[in-house]
Structure 1
Amino acid sequence: MTASPAPARRTSSSFARFFAPVALLALMWVIQFADAVLPGSFTGWGLRSWDLGSLQGLVLGPLLHASWAHLIANSVPLLVLGCLVAVEGAKRFWAVTAVVALVGGIGTWFVNAPGTLTVGASVLVFGYFGYIIMRVFAPGRVAHRIAYAAIALIVAVLYGASMLTGIFGAGAGVSWQAHLFGAIGGGLMAFSGRRADRAA
């Protein structure tokens, strides 16, 4: 007979998984602070469409913001939705983040007007939203899918209207391309890595 993990250890593990989105957001704030106090601007390291010399923006673009207001606007939804993704573990969170950044970045790079510079964490915000909504339809245990559906319903009520506006009604200077392809990347990830869940 094996002993069950101590409650304190289980609680510690539960909180540890949320360190990933908190750390990611903290990194964005550190970068924005450094950008504000150091000479020049970091935003030039973002993703510039149809420019092969700016592909580092696939990684750096989501970490950079045009202003404090831009970062602040992204911070709360990034933290809330990121933590909901991180419920499944830090490893899953980073995998979703990587795929969303890649799919969202490549789609934006191709579809946006040549030379357009794109920065900001909204690609991740929309990606996490797409992941949370679409995982309801991914194969898995019934109990898990019911829980996912409840979470997705709450997220849709809180953020659904703004997400649709961010894609179909984005104003000037806002990259609907990053929003759309970020959401697509998150939706694709919702259907990956589910074998263990199906077998459980």
Structure 2
Amino acid sequence: MDPTQVQAPKQLSKRIVPPKPLLSAAVVVGFVALLFVIEGVDTALGHSLDDDGVIPRDFSQWDNLIWYPLLHAGWSHLTGNAVPLLVLGFLATSGGLKQFAQVTAVIWLASGLGIWLVGSTASHIGASGLIFGYLAFLLVRGIFARAPWQIVVAVLVFVAYGWALWGVLPGQPGVSWEGHLFGAVGGVLAAWGVARDARRVPTPTPASLPM
């Protein structure tokens, strides 16, 4: 085995720029564009999709966990989420698109399950849980991975978006703070998992190197 391939997970875990930036940008932009298409369909249907969010402790609506981040309560809700989703989503692809998909899945499920378990009775929708998850992921991954440049990026991210962390606290009417909080928890878990997997990759010894 090529030792450079063995080291790839460790290298990816410490990157700050995606290995394929244009492809990463296309994926993140494509996802946000999909949200606009869905909101257009929802508008045409008289916003009937807004009731298909996560409804806490309702077993008959469990499948809403699959698509609740894709739905938004109007264009202002969506446009408010679009820019941070583009910026933080792109930065979160630095470990490659496979890792990004795994990180997104952890955040998506953590946010949705947290809402379902402890959320207030309502239909919870929106991609803000993903935003808080990416924000938390970017803030702590450098610490877990012991990557100085990622910590520098985390500081810059905090300066730009740290104010948003207040959104994990209750008290804002009409805002799913539960989705924000558990999205952030999912981001921390995802950062820990990425760093753990990278540390599990053995460092090649001279005896194991190809001749």
After TM superposition, is the score higher than 0.5?
yes
* Structure 2 gap ranges (5+): 1-17, 204-211
Q: Does the C-alpha gap of structure 1 residues 12 and 136 become closer, same or farther in structure 2, counting only changes over 3 Å?
A: closer
Determine which structure has greater relative contact order: mean sequence separation of CA pairs < 8 Å that are 6+ residues apart, divided by chain length.
2
Q: In 1, are the aligned partners of 2:136 and 2:185 still within 8 Å (CA)?
A: yes
Q: Tell me the distance in 2 between the aligned counterparts of 1:20 and 1:32.
A: 19
Q: Which amino acid counterpart does residue 110 of structure 2 have in structure 1?
A: V
Q: Which amino acid counterpart does residue 137 of structure 1 have in structure 2?
A: I
TM-score, structure 2 length as denominator?
0.81
Match of 1:22 among 23, 29, 32: 29
Q: How do 1:101-112 residues align onto structure 2 when only pairs under 5 Å count?
A: 101-112=108-119
Q: Which amino acid counterpart does residue 118 of structure 1 have in structure 2?
A: H
Q: Does the C-alpha gap of structure 1 residues 68 and 170 become closer, same or farther in structure 2, counting only changes over 3 Å?
A: farther
Q: In 1, are the aligned partners of 2:137 and 2:188 still within 8 Å (CA)?
A: yes
Q: How do 1:162-177 residues align onto structure 2 when only pairs under 5 Å count?
A: 162-164=164-166, 166-168=167-169, 170-177=171-178
Compute the RMSD of aligned alpha carbons: 1.9
The alpha-carbon deviation at position 191 of structure 1 amounts to 1.1
SS at match of 1:17: helix
Pairs aligned (count): 184
* Structure 1 gap ranges (5+): 1-10
TM-score, structure 1 length as denominator?
0.85
Q: Tell me the distance in 2 between the aligned counterparts of 1:183 and 1:40.
A: 28
Q: Does the C-alpha gap of structure 1 residues 97 and 174 become closer, same or farther in structure 2, counting only changes over 3 Å?
A: same
Q: How do 1:123-134 residues align onto structure 2 when only pairs under 5 Å count?
A: 123-134=129-140
Seq. identity, % = 38
The alpha-carbon deviation at position 14 of structure 1 amounts to 2.9
Match of 1:49 among 48, 51, 56: 56
Task: List structure 1 runs of 4+ shifted beyond 4 angstroms.
Answer: none
